[in-house]
Chain A
Amino acid sequence: MPVDFQCPSAVKVARTWSVAKPRRLGRLALRGAAAVALAYILTPLLFVTWLAFFRQEIPSFPPEGYSLRWFLAIAGNDRFVAGFLLSLELAVIATGIGLLLGLPAALALARSKLALPELASSMLLLPLIVPGIVLGIALYVFQVEAEIASGLPLLGSLGGLIAGHVLIVIPWTVRLVSASLVGLDRSIEEAAQSLGADRWVTFRRVTLPAIRPGVVAAALFSFVSSFGNLEMSLFLVGPGRTTLPIAIIQYLEWKIDPTIAAVSVLQIALIGAAMLVTDRFVRISRMV
């Protein structure tokens, strides 16, 4: 069959059509996959939120009616209130210490010319990879040994709990600050120095503002990972010291009324609010 070389436009049309069609299909598939994933994430959250407003004590469908009694029940439950306050305190302190340690570490990793950083940065991400239970047991055993060796009351102490939480927030601070340092133009630091700023002033006035999105994102993710941590905390809490996730687990052992759902809704609301506030300063989706 003779090929028609006289009509390149027909070839072109055919080609653009055949390219456009899979491209449009691809985009549809992508959107479909995203929708499925989003539904997968949101469905439990929506159900929990719905459940929190059920009136009856035993969760069953359809609801017998709606009320706010379970939210009021939280306020009357000392364990939840104390757990919330402890988790908040822990998350704030661990985030603060995590930043103080993680920020210089990220700077050192970005600036060091040695071969070490590869290894060091992998090590710093370890707490993220090691399962929480393993981390908890390891820290527990370590604290037992350390207490025997030193005679200091470490086991179940607030300090021990904070140390554990610092450990799990460090990967976030190092990773997110490192990511923002990669895009940093070093010449603005040199410019500051040529204008008379020493290293510290350069860091404070030029480097820090430039990497601020990364630092804010690091603080947010540190806070969230500490606030929601359950497995590791289980091994580190002492008598009379219960974090919110632990309080929830303990409550669930005896009761399944919607109080838990109400607590979860408050937790979701707190983290959601933190993300919204942060998002005003930096686009989180660009950082992670």
Chain B
Amino acid sequence: MARLRIDGVSKRYGEVDAIREVTLDVADGEFLVLLGPSGCGKTTTLRVVAGFAEPDAGSVALGGRDITALPPWKRNAGLVFQNYALFPHLTVAENVAFGLEMRKIGAAETARRVGEALQLVRLEHLAQRLPRQLSGGQQQRVALARALVFHPDVLLLDEPLSNLDAKLRQDVRVEIRELQRKLGLTTVMVTHDQEEALTMADRLVVMQDGAVRQVGTQQDLYERPCDRFVASFVGRSTFIEGEIEAPGRFRSRGGLSLACTAAKLGPATLALRPERMLIAAAPPAAVDNNLPGVVEFVSYLGATVDMHVRISARERVVVQIPNRAGDAVPKVGQQVHVAWLAANGIVFAGTASS
């Protein structure tokens, strides 16, 4: 295992910048997740590390060794593909042994390590099967065993769970994470699924349009998103556009005057997390912001309920409330009060339309 450094890497495909000046530092044993919508450059970044995309600028170093110019087969990176990419004509055991065979490891040692790797993913009983005889989840675990068995310096996971059904995905998440911790694997995973990213990562990288937007822990990204994109991609937010008219005072386009923590004057966007807001029939006391509104839409999610409340002619917020026994859930058309603390509003300079 080793530290991975990606330094100022750019890659163009024709006229399109796939990634621009991406710089990332992955510590030894760290689980880093690249998160972003499709086309954001996360997969290109992974392919640069694996050696399948040659960067136009920048460098990649693994364990202190510059690997930018090395072909994929000399990089010692374990790769798990979205579609698993198992060799269809080889058995499970032969698939797993492939990397060891390429490293000219003896038959006895190979057999021992293949057995170990299959045990690790609990598939030792299927060693002689062909990939097509396995379920999706089993194939996924074979792909993982194959990528781990030769002790790679870094494990690269390209949307490894997206082809599994929802229930299985939950289990495999935990499995991969535990295995990664146990073996102390430096890991980079690519995903577009924020829940997957949040549950698995030590640190996350949010990418958009080929550039890194923000790097940080779950808390960093959630509590202190650096821009509107991150605030919308990690967790949910309602955005209210307007301006800071005085330090600590936000005026919305709909004319609401709201308490906030920002001091810098000028156009601004206020982001509100649905679960950081309150809803009440009567105005609650001692809350910074307290607005009357009308419930326009209710979506019942089981554990929680989303209330879409109109607070001005131009603004509507989403408030998430816990669905506790005995609580009366407000109905559409009902008059309510929406309240939140100034500290729970995140202010970004500028507006989307300015």
Contact = CB atoms under 8 A, between A and B. Distances in A.
A194 B81 CA distance: 11
A187 interface: yes
A197 interface: yes
Contact of B72 (A188, A193, A201, A210): A193
Given A201-B102, A210-B88, A210-B89, A195 B83 contact: no
Nearest to A212: B89
Interface in B55-86: 71-79, 81, 83, 85-86
A195 B143 CA distance: 11
Interface string B243-278: 000000000000000000000000000000000000
Classify chain B: how many residues form its interface, as a range. 20 to 34
B231 interface: no
Nearest to B104: A196
Contacts of A210: 88-89
A193 B77 contact: no
Given A196-B99, A196-B102, A196-B103, A191 B79 contact: yes
Contacts of A190: 50, 52, 72, 79, 81, 85
Interface string A67-104: 00000000000000000000000000000000000000
Interface centre among A195, A201, A206 (most CB of B within 10 A): A195
Nearest to B77: A194
Interface string A159-193: 00000000000000000000000000101101111
B297 interface: no
Contact of B73 (A187, A188, A197): A197
A209 interface: yes
A279 interface: no
Contacts of B103: 196
A198 interface: yes
Interface centre among A188, A198, A209 (most CB of B within 10 A): A188
Contact of A188 (B77, B88, B147): B88
A100 to B, nearest CB: 22
B310 to A, nearest CB: 43
Given A187-B81, A190-B52, A191-B79, A197 B87 contact: no
A195 B89 CA distance: 16
B150 interface: yes
Contact of B71 (A185, A193, A205): A193
A198 B52 contact: no
Given A188-B88, A190-B52, A206-B87, A195 B102 contact: yes
A191 B79 CA distance: 7
A193 B102 CA distance: 10
Contacts of A192: 87, 98
Given A196-B102, A197-B102, A201-B102, A191 B73 contact: no
B175 to A, nearest CB: 20
A188 to B, nearest CB: 5
A145 to B, nearest CB: 46
Interface string B94-111: 000011001100000000
A196 B99 CA distance: 6
A191 B88 contact: no
A1 to B, nearest CB: 47
Contacts of B75: 194
B23 to A, nearest CB: 23
Interface string B216-237: 0000000000000000000000
A281 to B, nearest CB: 12
